[in-house]
Amino acid sequence: MDKRTDMIAGAALAFEAEGFRGIGIDGILAPSGASTRTLYKHFGSRDGLVLAVLEERHRAFMARLEGRSEVADPVGELFDTLERWLIEHGARGCMLLRARSEYANANEDVVALVRRQKEEFEGEIARRVQTVLGRADAELSTQVWLLFEGATAAASVSDLSVVGVAKRAAAILLTAAQGRSQ
């Protein structure tokens, strides 16, 4: 791994454990062993590193979804991917939304990045809903997105079984929508 990648991975661990704004530079850099000078060389600022961590987190999750929209249950696969992700990374809620919350009044770039990432993910859900229904359904896509985000948050205070509950709720909504279109 190169130093930049190592710093992003280490900072992600630190942010997961301590939050974004509640941890000092030393704590952020400790997992990678990088210096402050190296931070500024690669990212320009602490917030530059935050943006890189968020970009990498989103890219990694979206990469998990690539090629998985052609499965028998493309919407259900979203929840299966979420469950595998939470097993691997831990159920701490959505890192992107936590960052958006912590930076709401402090950094417009972080807020805008999270908004773009969430819009991209909502688009992925909409494509999958359209695949299942054979037509677009913006309201149903939003409902599935809410179930997904809710399951992500709820798993952090409950257990991973909530992901399966959300998946089944999405299936019920899809079945109802299919019945309405026939």
- Choose which CATH entry (2.40.50.320, 3.40.50.720, 3.40.50.2300, 1.10.357.10) describes domain 45-180: 1.10.357.10
* Spatial separation of the C-alpha atoms in residues 164 and 23, rounded to whole Å: 34
* Spatial separation of the C-alpha atoms in residues 175 and 37, rounded to whole Å: 55
pLDDT band at 70 (very low <50, low <70, confident <90, very high): confident
Report pLDDT digits (tens) over 120-173. 999 999 999 999 999 999 999 999 999 999 999 999 999 999 999 999 999 999
Report pLDDT digits (tens) over 39-65. 999 999 999 999 999 999 999 999 999
Report pLDDT digits (tens) over 96-109. 999 999 999 999 99
- With 0-12 CB in 10 A as exposed, 13-18 as middle and 19+ as buried, what is 95? buried
* Spatial separation of the C-alpha atoms in residues 111 and 117, rounded to whole Å: 10
Q: What is the pLDDT of residue 53?
A: 97
pLDDT band at 71 (very low <50, low <70, confident <90, very high): confident
* Spatial separation of the C-alpha atoms in residues 103 and 180, rounded to whole Å: 42
| pLDDT surpassing 60 at residue 30 | yes
DSSP state of 137: -
How many distinct helices (H) and strands (E) make up the chain?
Answer: 9, 0
* Sign of torsion over alpha carbons 20, 22, 26, 31: negative
* Spatial separation of the C-alpha atoms in residues 76 and 86, rounded to whole Å: 16
| pLDDT surpassing 60 at residue 182 | no
- In the chain, the amino acid numbered 92 is R
> CB of 11 within 8 A of CB of 24?
no
**Between residues 40 and 1, the one the model is more confident about:** 40
Q: How large is the C-alpha radius of gyration of the chain?
A: 18
pLDDT band at 67 (very low <50, low <70, confident <90, very high): confident
The Cα diameter of the chain in Å comes to 63
